[in-house]
Structure 1
């Protein structure tokens, strides 16, 4: 018979989990609607967006420029893009008040009159910090499936 080790209950309280879910829903909606400056403002001033398929982007301004290029390309192609995040794990704050999250994310594209196609499947890890009653991404690491 297989013994199963007990896993310590480190689940965040419901309020924290709900806040983080709401943060991600708003953040992804901003990006999907092309509100690049507002989306970039969900990162700390020195925030990092790091993907295993490109070099890391550091700072809001750099993140915004890269995101705007991508949004412009998508608009020019006549594509509607949507992000879906799921399987969210939220680790309660550490001594410095940082919340760590892990989640899966899909990016989908739909051509005018077409059917949605998954364009990316990823695993992401974020470090979030509290800021003026909300949350900001200090560091985001995105690993694209099929690339490692």
Structure 2
């Protein structure tokens, strides 16, 4: 796959805001804070990951999925940590932000050693609503699966 640098860059302030958004967003996910995490998406968000047969659509579907996953992980004694890095932010003509970053997912069984669970690329479209960023769309690809 060839990645081309895109025209246009965001300000340092906007880039820092995106970084802060992901720090809070991923910590909510890892804590299993279902409602707070779902609230970081637009009401009509689309969440497309290869572990699901079809994309999730809307906050309620996101809540339901995280509730199920958090329960399964807790029952198995597993903690997950998501790390986003190499965050590239591109302003779009419609005032949204297109973000592409690497996502590493670590998994630790209680009492065990942390392991790298997945290596992914995360591509989001972020929108501003009421002065805060929200995810409108998310597309995740995994390095261990064909493109």
Partners of 2:111 and 2:65 lie apart in 1 by 28
Partners of 1:113 and 1:97 lie apart in 2 by 46
Q: Secondary structure at the match of 2:55?
A: strand
Partners of 2:50 and 2:71 lie apart in 1 by 22
The residue that corresponds to 2:83 in the other structure is 84
The residue that corresponds to 1:20 in the other structure is 18
Segments of 4+ moved more than 3 angstroms: none
Are residues 13 and 112 of structure 1, via their aligned partners in 2, closer, same or farther at CA, if it must alter by over 3 Å? same
Q: CA deviation at 1:129?
A: 0.3
The residue that corresponds to 1:100 in the other structure is 98
In terms of Rg, which structure is larger? Answer: 1
- Residues 53, 144 of structure 1: 8 Å contact kept: no
Partners of 2:120 and 2:6 lie apart in 1 by 27
Q: Secondary structure at the match of 2:10?
A: coil
Residue segments in structure 2 that go unaligned for 5+ positions in a row:
none
Residue segments in structure 1 that go unaligned for 5+ positions in a row:
1-6
**What's the TM-score once normalised by structure 2's chain length?**
0.91
The residue that corresponds to 1:71 in the other structure is 70
Q: CA deviation at 1:29?
A: 0.3
Q: How do residues 130-141 of structure 1 correspond to structure 2 at under 5 angstroms? A: 130-141=128-139
Partners of 1:107 and 1:99 lie apart in 2 by 23
Task: State how many pairs are aligned.
Answer: 141
CA RMSD of aligned residues (A): 1.3
